[in-house]
Amino acid sequence: MGDIKRRKRPARQQTWVYLTETGIGLLVLERSRQGISQVRTSLWRSEDTPLLQAEQLADWVAKHSRGQLNLLLSDPAYQMLLVDVPDVPAAEMDAALRFKTAELISYDLDDASIDVILLPTEAYRGRLRMAFVIAAEKKPLADWAMAMARRGLRIECIDIDQLALRNTAIRTLERNQSGLLFMEADRCRLILLFNQEIVLSRQFEIGYSDLGLAADGEQGLELEGNSDIQLDSLSLEIRRSFDYYEAQLGLGAISDVALLGWPGDPAIGETLGTKLDTRFTLLHPEDFIMTPTDSDWPVELTPALGAAFRETAA
Protein backbone atom coordinates (compact mmCIF):
# COMPACT_ATOMS: atom_id res chain seq x y z
CA MET A 1 0.00 0.00 0.00
CA GLY A 2 1.29 3.46 -0.88
CA ASP A 3 1.61 6.63 1.07
CA ILE A 4 -1.16 8.01 3.27
CA LYS A 5 -3.94 9.31 1.01
CA ARG A 6 -5.67 12.41 2.33
CA ARG A 7 -6.60 14.74 -0.50
CA LYS A 8 -9.27 12.95 -2.47
CA ARG A 9 -12.55 14.89 -2.60
CA PRO A 10 -15.09 12.95 -0.51
CA ALA A 11 -18.37 11.55 -1.81
CA ARG A 12 -21.68 12.92 -0.57
CA GLN A 13 -21.95 9.92 1.76
CA GLN A 14 -18.80 8.62 3.43
CA THR A 15 -18.08 5.65 5.68
CA TRP A 16 -15.22 6.17 8.13
CA VAL A 17 -13.60 3.48 10.26
CA TYR A 18 -11.88 5.10 13.24
CA LEU A 19 -9.02 3.09 14.78
CA THR A 20 -7.88 4.12 18.26
CA GLU A 21 -5.84 2.47 21.00
CA THR A 22 -8.95 1.30 22.85
CA GLY A 23 -11.59 0.66 20.23
CA ILE A 24 -12.94 0.81 16.71
CA GLY A 25 -15.67 3.15 15.55
CA LEU A 26 -17.73 3.34 12.40
CA LEU A 27 -19.35 6.53 11.14
CA VAL A 28 -21.52 7.04 8.10
CA LEU A 29 -21.52 10.75 7.32
CA GLU A 30 -23.78 12.41 4.77
CA ARG A 31 -23.80 15.87 3.24
CA SER A 32 -26.98 17.24 1.67
CA ARG A 33 -27.11 19.35 -1.49
CA GLN A 34 -27.56 22.33 0.82
CA GLY A 35 -24.24 21.54 2.49
CA ILE A 36 -25.73 20.26 5.75
CA SER A 37 -23.69 17.43 7.29
CA GLN A 38 -25.23 14.71 9.41
CA VAL A 39 -24.37 11.42 11.05
CA ARG A 40 -26.34 8.51 9.60
CA THR A 41 -24.64 5.72 11.56
CA SER A 42 -22.46 5.86 14.67
CA LEU A 43 -21.10 2.63 16.14
CA TRP A 44 -18.40 1.97 18.71
CA ARG A 45 -16.77 -1.29 19.81
CA SER A 46 -14.15 -1.51 22.55
CA GLU A 47 -11.06 -3.41 21.37
CA ASP A 48 -7.37 -3.38 22.22
CA THR A 49 -5.23 -2.02 19.35
CA PRO A 50 -7.74 -2.63 16.53
CA LEU A 51 -5.16 -1.37 14.01
CA LEU A 52 -3.41 -4.73 14.46
CA GLN A 53 -6.61 -6.80 14.24
CA ALA A 54 -7.70 -6.23 10.66
CA GLU A 55 -8.77 -9.79 9.88
CA GLN A 56 -10.52 -10.26 13.23
CA LEU A 57 -12.56 -7.05 12.89
CA ALA A 58 -13.14 -7.00 9.14
CA ASP A 59 -16.45 -8.90 9.30
CA TRP A 60 -17.84 -6.37 11.79
CA VAL A 61 -16.86 -3.50 9.50
CA ALA A 62 -18.24 -5.26 6.40
CA LYS A 63 -21.56 -5.84 8.14
CA HIS A 64 -22.08 -2.08 8.34
CA SER A 65 -20.38 -0.99 5.09
CA ARG A 66 -20.61 -1.37 1.36
CA GLY A 67 -18.42 -0.38 -1.55
CA GLN A 68 -15.86 2.17 -0.45
CA LEU A 69 -14.75 3.22 3.01
CA ASN A 70 -12.06 5.33 4.64
CA LEU A 71 -9.70 4.82 7.58
CA LEU A 72 -9.11 7.42 10.28
CA LEU A 73 -6.06 6.81 12.45
CA SER A 74 -5.59 7.88 16.04
CA ASP A 75 -2.32 8.61 17.79
CA PRO A 76 -0.11 6.53 18.29
CA ALA A 77 -0.95 4.74 15.02
CA TYR A 78 0.82 7.63 13.31
CA GLN A 79 3.35 10.35 14.06
CA MET A 80 2.87 13.99 13.06
CA LEU A 81 6.35 15.50 12.96
CA LEU A 82 7.24 19.17 12.58
CA VAL A 83 10.35 19.52 10.41
CA ASP A 84 12.13 22.32 8.59
CA VAL A 85 11.83 22.28 4.81
CA PRO A 86 15.21 21.74 3.13
CA ASP A 87 16.45 24.42 0.74
CA VAL A 88 16.48 22.19 -2.33
CA PRO A 89 14.88 22.36 -5.79
CA ALA A 90 11.20 21.42 -5.88
CA ALA A 91 11.97 18.21 -7.77
CA GLU A 92 14.14 17.04 -4.87
CA MET A 93 11.81 18.12 -2.06
CA ASP A 94 10.02 14.81 -1.57
CA ALA A 95 13.25 12.82 -1.28
CA ALA A 96 14.78 15.39 1.09
CA LEU A 97 11.77 15.33 3.42
CA ARG A 98 11.69 11.55 3.42
CA PHE A 99 15.37 11.55 4.39
CA LYS A 100 14.60 13.86 7.32
CA THR A 101 11.71 11.64 8.36
CA ALA A 102 13.98 8.60 8.47
CA GLU A 103 15.90 10.20 11.33
CA LEU A 104 12.74 10.72 13.40
CA ILE A 105 10.84 7.44 13.17
CA SER A 106 11.65 4.16 14.91
CA TYR A 107 11.10 1.89 11.88
CA ASP A 108 12.68 1.69 8.45
CA LEU A 109 11.66 4.38 5.97
CA ASP A 110 10.80 1.72 3.39
CA ASP A 111 8.17 0.46 5.85
CA ALA A 112 6.63 3.92 6.29
CA SER A 113 3.63 5.53 4.63
CA ILE A 114 4.32 9.27 4.37
CA ASP A 115 2.36 12.46 3.72
CA VAL A 116 3.49 16.09 3.96
CA ILE A 117 1.67 19.31 4.87
CA LEU A 118 3.63 22.43 3.97
CA LEU A 119 2.79 25.19 6.45
CA PRO A 120 1.89 28.71 5.29
CA THR A 121 4.97 30.79 4.54
CA GLU A 122 3.53 33.58 6.72
CA ALA A 123 3.85 31.30 9.72
CA TYR A 124 7.63 31.37 9.62
CA ARG A 125 8.59 34.84 8.44
CA GLY A 126 12.36 35.21 8.22
CA ARG A 127 12.91 31.61 9.28
CA LEU A 128 13.19 28.27 7.59
CA ARG A 129 9.88 27.14 6.19
CA MET A 130 8.32 24.27 8.13
CA ALA A 131 6.17 21.28 7.32
CA PHE A 132 4.30 18.55 9.13
CA VAL A 133 5.30 15.06 8.04
CA ILE A 134 2.75 12.36 8.82
CA ALA A 135 4.23 8.89 9.11
CA ALA A 136 2.60 5.52 9.75
CA GLU A 137 3.76 1.95 9.34
CA LYS A 138 2.65 0.45 6.04
CA LYS A 139 1.99 -3.13 7.12
CA PRO A 140 -1.06 -2.58 9.38
CA LEU A 141 -2.59 -0.35 6.69
CA ALA A 142 -1.91 -2.95 4.02
CA ASP A 143 -3.45 -5.64 6.27
CA TRP A 144 -6.63 -3.57 6.54
CA ALA A 145 -6.71 -2.97 2.79
CA MET A 146 -6.39 -6.72 2.12
CA ALA A 147 -8.96 -7.69 4.74
CA MET A 148 -11.47 -5.25 3.26
CA ALA A 149 -10.71 -6.35 -0.31
CA ARG A 150 -11.45 -9.98 0.62
CA ARG A 151 -14.92 -8.78 1.64
CA GLY A 152 -15.55 -6.74 -1.49
CA LEU A 153 -14.71 -3.38 0.09
CA ARG A 154 -12.09 -0.84 -0.91
CA ILE A 155 -10.28 1.67 1.29
CA GLU A 156 -10.54 4.94 -0.59
CA CYS A 157 -8.46 7.20 1.65
CA ILE A 158 -6.64 7.33 4.97
CA ASP A 159 -6.62 10.36 7.27
CA ILE A 160 -5.64 11.16 10.86
CA ASP A 161 -7.69 12.46 13.75
CA GLN A 162 -5.59 15.59 14.34
CA LEU A 163 -6.58 16.79 10.87
CA ALA A 164 -10.20 15.85 11.54
CA LEU A 165 -10.05 18.07 14.64
CA ARG A 166 -8.52 20.80 12.47
CA ASN A 167 -11.48 20.51 10.10
CA THR A 168 -13.90 20.91 13.00
CA ALA A 169 -12.02 24.01 14.17
CA ILE A 170 -12.16 25.55 10.70
CA ARG A 171 -15.86 24.78 10.47
CA THR A 172 -16.72 26.38 13.81
CA LEU A 173 -14.21 29.24 14.27
CA GLU A 174 -14.19 32.41 12.18
CA ARG A 175 -10.87 34.03 13.13
CA ASN A 176 -7.55 33.30 11.39
CA GLN A 177 -5.82 33.14 14.80
CA SER A 178 -7.82 30.51 16.64
CA GLY A 179 -7.56 27.11 18.28
CA LEU A 180 -9.32 24.02 19.53
CA LEU A 181 -8.79 22.18 22.81
CA PHE A 182 -10.07 18.61 22.68
CA MET A 183 -10.44 17.12 26.14
CA GLU A 184 -10.54 13.43 27.04
CA ALA A 185 -10.63 11.81 30.45
CA ASP A 186 -6.86 11.46 30.80
CA ARG A 187 -5.34 13.83 28.23
CA CYS A 188 -6.07 16.74 25.93
CA ARG A 189 -4.95 18.01 22.54
CA LEU A 190 -4.43 21.68 21.67
CA ILE A 191 -4.45 22.68 18.01
CA LEU A 192 -3.60 26.24 16.97
CA LEU A 193 -4.50 27.50 13.51
CA PHE A 194 -3.30 30.26 11.23
CA ASN A 195 -5.14 30.90 7.98
CA GLN A 196 -7.02 27.61 8.37
CA GLU A 197 -3.96 25.42 8.81
CA ILE A 198 -2.32 23.81 11.83
CA VAL A 199 0.86 25.55 12.89
CA LEU A 200 1.08 24.00 16.36
CA SER A 201 -0.30 20.79 17.85
CA ARG A 202 0.47 19.70 21.41
CA GLN A 203 -0.79 16.96 23.69
CA PHE A 204 -0.92 17.37 27.48
CA GLU A 205 -1.29 14.48 29.90
CA ILE A 206 -4.09 16.25 31.77
CA GLY A 207 -7.71 15.28 31.22
CA TYR A 208 -11.07 16.25 32.62
CA SER A 209 -10.82 13.54 35.29
CA ASP A 210 -7.65 15.23 36.58
CA LEU A 211 -9.65 18.45 36.91
CA GLY A 212 -12.32 16.85 39.07
CA LEU A 213 -14.87 16.70 36.25
CA ALA A 214 -16.78 13.75 34.89
CA ALA A 215 -18.55 12.82 31.71
CA ASP A 216 -22.33 13.11 31.56
CA GLY A 217 -23.98 10.49 33.73
CA GLU A 218 -20.86 9.84 35.81
CA GLN A 219 -20.04 11.04 39.28
CA GLY A 220 -17.40 13.74 39.35
CA LEU A 221 -14.13 13.18 41.18
CA GLU A 222 -13.41 15.11 44.34
CA LEU A 223 -9.75 15.95 44.04
CA GLU A 224 -9.83 19.12 46.13
CA GLY A 225 -6.50 20.95 45.89
CA ASN A 226 -5.06 18.57 43.31
CA SER A 227 -7.62 19.60 40.71
CA ASP A 228 -6.59 23.25 41.16
CA ILE A 229 -2.94 22.29 40.67
CA GLN A 230 -3.79 20.38 37.51
CA LEU A 231 -5.82 23.30 36.18
CA ASP A 232 -2.91 25.64 36.83
CA SER A 233 -0.58 23.21 35.05
CA LEU A 234 -2.88 23.01 32.07
CA SER A 235 -3.22 26.78 31.94
CA LEU A 236 0.57 27.14 32.02
CA GLU A 237 1.06 24.73 29.12
CA ILE A 238 -1.60 26.50 27.06
CA ARG A 239 -0.01 29.87 27.89
CA ARG A 240 3.37 28.59 26.68
CA SER A 241 1.74 27.49 23.43
CA PHE A 242 0.09 30.89 22.99
CA ASP A 243 3.40 32.65 23.67
CA TYR A 244 5.22 30.52 21.09
CA TYR A 245 2.47 31.24 18.54
CA GLU A 246 2.54 34.98 19.21
CA ALA A 247 6.19 35.73 19.97
CA GLN A 248 8.22 33.03 18.21
CA LEU A 249 6.05 32.63 15.13
CA GLY A 250 4.88 36.26 15.10
CA LEU A 251 1.30 35.34 14.24
CA GLY A 252 -0.52 37.58 16.72
CA ALA A 253 -2.71 36.70 19.66
CA ILE A 254 -5.07 33.73 19.74
CA SER A 255 -8.55 35.22 19.91
CA ASP A 256 -10.84 32.19 20.18
CA VAL A 257 -10.48 28.62 21.44
CA ALA A 258 -13.23 26.01 21.14
CA LEU A 259 -13.50 23.45 23.94
CA LEU A 260 -14.58 20.08 22.54
CA GLY A 261 -15.13 16.83 24.39
CA TRP A 262 -15.44 18.60 27.71
CA PRO A 263 -18.23 17.29 29.98
CA GLY A 264 -20.72 20.18 29.98
CA ASP A 265 -19.41 22.55 32.63
CA PRO A 266 -19.51 26.12 31.26
CA ALA A 267 -17.59 27.40 34.28
CA ILE A 268 -14.38 25.74 33.10
CA GLY A 269 -14.39 27.78 29.91
CA GLU A 270 -14.80 30.94 31.95
CA THR A 271 -11.98 29.90 34.29
CA LEU A 272 -9.55 29.21 31.45
CA GLY A 273 -10.63 32.38 29.70
CA THR A 274 -9.87 34.45 32.79
CA LYS A 275 -6.51 32.79 33.38
CA LEU A 276 -5.41 33.16 29.76
CA ASP A 277 -7.25 36.32 28.69
CA THR A 278 -8.74 34.45 25.74
CA ARG A 279 -12.29 33.49 24.91
CA PHE A 280 -12.99 29.76 25.46
CA THR A 281 -16.31 28.48 24.11
CA LEU A 282 -17.80 25.08 24.84
CA LEU A 283 -18.49 23.18 21.64
CA HIS A 284 -20.79 20.17 21.37
CA PRO A 285 -21.17 17.87 18.32
CA GLU A 286 -24.73 19.02 17.75
CA ASP A 287 -23.41 22.58 17.34
CA PHE A 288 -21.76 21.74 14.02
CA ILE A 289 -23.28 18.49 12.72
CA MET A 290 -26.61 16.71 12.92
CA THR A 291 -26.23 13.73 15.24
CA PRO A 292 -28.70 10.89 15.93
CA THR A 293 -31.31 11.82 18.54
CA ASP A 294 -32.72 8.35 19.16
CA SER A 295 -29.63 6.77 20.70
CA ASP A 296 -26.73 7.53 22.98
CA TRP A 297 -23.89 9.23 21.16
CA PRO A 298 -20.56 7.34 21.44
CA VAL A 299 -18.33 10.15 22.70
CA GLU A 300 -15.26 8.20 21.53
CA LEU A 301 -16.23 9.13 17.97
CA THR A 302 -16.16 12.90 18.57
CA PRO A 303 -12.71 13.52 16.99
CA ALA A 304 -13.82 11.69 13.84
CA LEU A 305 -16.71 14.06 13.13
CA GLY A 306 -14.38 16.52 11.43
CA ALA A 307 -13.95 14.01 8.61
CA ALA A 308 -17.30 15.30 7.35
CA PHE A 309 -15.63 18.63 6.53
CA ARG A 310 -12.31 17.47 5.13
CA GLU A 311 -12.88 18.93 1.65
CA THR A 312 -12.94 22.42 3.21
CA ALA A 313 -9.45 21.86 4.56
CA ALA A 314 -7.75 19.92 1.76
In the chain, domain spans: 13-75+139-162, 80-135, 172-313
Q: So what's the pLDDT on residue 9?
A: 54
CB atoms within 10 A of CB 300: 20
Q: So what's the pLDDT on residue 297?
A: 78
Topology of domain 13-75+139-162, CATH: Nucleotidyltransferase; domain 5 (3.30.420)
Q: So what's the pLDDT on residue 310?
A: 84
Q: So what's the pLDDT on residue 3?
A: 57
Q: So what's the pLDDT on residue 222?
A: 45
257 close to 180: Cβ distance less than 8 angstroms = yes
Q: Which CATH superfamily groups domain 172-313? A: ATPase, nucleotide binding domain (3.30.420.40)
Q: So what's the pLDDT on residue 102?
A: 92
Q: So what's the pLDDT on residue 221?
A: 41
pTM of the predicted protein model: 0.90
CA distances from 216 to 17, 133, 219 (A): 25, 36, 8
Segments in the chain below pLDDT 50: 1-2, 7, 217-223, 312-314
Domains 13-75+139-162 and 172-313 share a fold: yes
For 232, phi and psi rounded to 5 degrees? Answer: -65, -40
